[in-house]
Amino acid sequence: MTTSKPTGGSVFLVEDEVMIRMMVADMLEELGYSVAAEAGEINEAVRLAGSTEFDIAILDVNVNGKVISPVAEVIQGRGRPFIFATGYGAQGLPQEFRDRPTLQKPFQMETLAQVIASTLKGVAV
């Protein structure tokens, strides 16, 4: 039996809470996605956002007290889709990104799957 790459694509995950990051990574893998890269702080996330190949990113809005905007700007500049994860609601999003898809924390695996699928459908391949 051969192991194959998950069929869902690859995800870049930014989350400062290690346990939440591990839980989301597990959810993604269960849904058939692979985690291309993970980051728990802004500078590392900016670096990885510019150098990692991924299909979609999931970004915590507040990473160790810093707003995720610099990371989102790099990803937007690369033309890659991204989703925000936040416990603060839409009002917690950076003003310039309030039109982006958002996962309200805490979220279930079904919600994660739906938001990823609808975000990827909106992207021209």
Domain 9-121 has CATH 3.30.70.20: no
Q: What number of other Cβ atoms are within 10 A of residue 28's Cβ? A: 24
CA 4 to CA 2: how far, in whole Å? 6
Domain spans, the chain: 9-121
Encode pLDDT of 1-13 as tens digits.
334 444 689 999 9
Q: Structure pTM?
A: 0.91
Encode pLDDT of 91-117 as tens digits.
788 889 999 999 999 999 999 999 999
CA 60 to CA 83: how far, in whole Å? 9
CA 110 to CA 92: how far, in whole Å? 23
Q: What is the dihedral of CA 90, 98, 26, 105, to 10 degrees?
A: -10
Encode pLDDT of 18-76 as tens digits.
999 999 999 999 999 999 999 999 999 999 999 999 999 999 999 999 999 999 999 99
